[in-house]
Structure 1
Amino acid sequence: MGKLKEKYLKQGIAEYAKRLSKFCKFQVVEVPDEKAPEKLSEAEMEGVKEREGERILAKIKEREYVFALAIEGKERISEQFAQEIDSLATYGHSDITFVIGGSLGLSPEVLKRSNAQISFGRFTLPHQLMRLVLSEQIYRAYMINSGSPYHK
């Protein structure tokens, strides 16, 4: 969700994208976020998530295996995550999509569409920073699967 503005985050993600190019086709798809004032009612928050969710779902193809990043999702250690990525590729799920929601999180429809929900812990992180963290973890997974000592 949203356009990445911070130069240092763009540079970090670009570095991991370059590193990942020898393993996979790595692509970031930005979806416009919904403008929302600081103070919103519960109904207004749900409306924002619903509109953002519609934009997200419009970008996801039927064949894609979708990981939704959500605090309520399952936490994994890096080795488990690497094994999961490897297994998906082995069993015909070569198109893997990771969805990072906006500041209010993901809509129930996006969570329902996801094949799995993944959590990076109970911390709330800015979605812009989460892109960098996720990029690094995807790279780490490929390095683990290739037998590289990178992840230690």
Structure 2
Amino acid sequence: MQIDIIAVGKVKESYLRDAIAEYSKRLGRYCKLGIIEVADEKTPENASEGVERQIKAKEGERIAKHLRDGAYVIALAIDGKMLSSEGLANEISQLGLRGVSHIQLVIGGSIGLDDAILSRADYKLSFSKMTFPHQLMRVILLEQIYRAFKINAHEPYHK
């Protein structure tokens, strides 16, 4: 299975890059992983709703260039469906059983995803009602994908 993480912005902190590299290496046993970074837009302090919409639209256009026909697109969104780790593992397993061979997970920038990307998504996934830094979210997402593959392979992993 091909899994792509499409994320807005670069990861600047070395400890997060190290964690991303570690989970990417671990996932190599289970899937082909791609991490695609698209440029983020600077968001001015106290930006108006209109300016935020423009920023999300620009970032959305950059994301859209990487979305592939036939790929199952999962957008990370606060208002998406929350799953347990076992629930995510089951979703990935069911997609595989339905013949889906390419999953693309999209992480927006600091102000979220453009409505066009949310509309294009086949599934909206929420990790929490809390807001996480989008750079940290990449690590959390990779860890949960790794955990899902371990669950599906009936292999032990810490709880």
Q: Do the two structures share a fold, i.e. TM-score over 0.5? A: yes
TM-score normalised over the length of structure 1: 0.98
Please identify runs of 4+ aligned residues in structure 1 that moved more than 6 A. none
Give the structure 1 partner of residue 22 of structure 2. 15
Cα displacement string for residues 40-78 of structure 1 (whole angstroms, at most 9, x for unaligned residues): 111011110011101101111111101100000000001
Give the structure 2 partner of residue 26 of structure 1. 33
Supply the distance in 1 between the matched residues of 2:107 and 2:89 (Cα, whole angstroms). Answer: 19
Match of 2:87 among 69, 80, 85: 80
Give the structure 2 partner of residue 106 of structure 1. 113
Structure with the larger helix share = 1
Give the structure 1 partner of residue 66 of structure 2. 59
Give the structure 1 partner of residue 77 of structure 2. 70
How many residues matched?
152
1:151 Cα deviation (Å)?
4.6
Give the structure 2 partner of residue 90 of structure 1. 97
Q: Give ranges in structure 2 of 5+ residues lacking alignment.
A: 1-7
TM-score normalised over the length of structure 2: 0.93
Structure with the larger strand share = 2
Supply the distance in 1 between the matched residues of 2:43 and 2:87 (Cα, whole angstroms). Answer: 36
| Secondary structure of the structure 1 residue equivalent to 2:65 | helix
The code of the aligned residue for 2:19 comes to G
Are the counterparts in 2 of residues 143 and 151 from structure 1 also a CA contact under 8 Å?
Answer: no
35-44 vs 96-105, which deviates more? 35-44
Q: Give ranges in structure 1 of 5+ residues lacking alignment.
A: none
The code of the aligned residue for 1:85 comes to I
Q: 2:55 aligned with 1:48, yes or no?
A: yes
Q: 2:137 aligned with 1:130, yes or no?
A: yes
Cα displacement string for residues 82-128 of structure 1 (whole angstroms, at most 9, x for unaligned residues): 01101111211110010000001001000000000000011100000
